[in-house]
């Protein structure tokens, strides 16, 4: 009577398949670790900064640019604001004080505002990691 057992070929095939599964799992794990290490925070904060300036909640209109400060007027609050900073860009209310940080991790004074027309401003920023970012912000027209 013949006993049922695995042949050498079957055992080798099982080992090869097991090895392939383990290698695949380790590759996926390594990929996930690399993706989780990616820092999307600077990109996200940049887009939130731009969104805040163009927000309908403020309806900022451009007053002008003076001494690398962006002067804005909010049609909603009827207040004048000043966007300035050094390693952080922050928005200050000219009449009532207070400030709101909008963008951080900037190289000291490595930002600029260029007025393109009555509604558009080119904003350039250099982050502490050396990344240069720029965007054109479209503000609301004067009433």
Q: What is the pLDDT of residues 2-13, one digit of tens each?
A: 667 778 888 899
| 51-72 exposure pattern, b = at least 16 Cβ within 10 A, e = fewer | ebbeeeebbbbbbeeeeeebbb
Residue 64 has pLDDT above 80, yes or no: yes
DSSP designation for 142: P
Instruction: Encode pLDDT of 76-134 as tens digits.
Output: 999 999 999 888 999 999 888 888 899 988 998 899 999 999 999 999 999 988 889 99
> What is the predicted pLDDT for the residue at 99?
86
> What is the predicted pLDDT for the residue at 115?
93
CA nearest 61: which of 102, 104, 118? 118
- pLDDT category at 44 given cuts 50, 70, 90 is confident
> What is the predicted pLDDT for the residue at 114?
93
Q: Once rounded to an integer, what is the mean pLDDT over residues 61-89?
A: 92
> What is the predicted pLDDT for the residue at 134?
94
Summary mean pLDDT of the chain: 89
Q: Are 66 and 73 in contact (CB under 8 A)?
A: no
CA nearest 139: which of 111, 118, 113? 118
> What is the predicted pLDDT for the residue at 6?
74
Domain ranges of the chain: 41-138
| pLDDT > 70 fraction of the chain, expressed in percent and rounded | 95
């Amino acid at each position: 009577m013949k006993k049922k057992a695995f042949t050498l070929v079957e055992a080798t095939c099982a080992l090869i398949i097991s090895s392939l599964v383990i290698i695949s799992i380790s590759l996926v794990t390594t990929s996930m670790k690399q993706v989780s290490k990616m820092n999307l925070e600077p990109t996200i904060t940049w887009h939130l900064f731009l969104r805040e300036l163009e927000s309908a909640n403020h309806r900022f209109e451009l007053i002008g640019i003076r001494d690398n400060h962006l002067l804005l007027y909010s049609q909603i609050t009827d207040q004048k604001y000043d966007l300035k900073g050094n390693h952080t860009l922050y928005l200050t209310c000219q009449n009532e004080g207070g400030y709101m940080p909008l963008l951080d991790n900037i190289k000291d004074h490595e930002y600029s505002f260029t007025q393109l027309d009555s509604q558009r401003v080119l904003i350039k920023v250099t982050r502490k990691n050396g990344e240069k970012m720029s965007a054109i912000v479209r503000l609301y027209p004067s009433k």
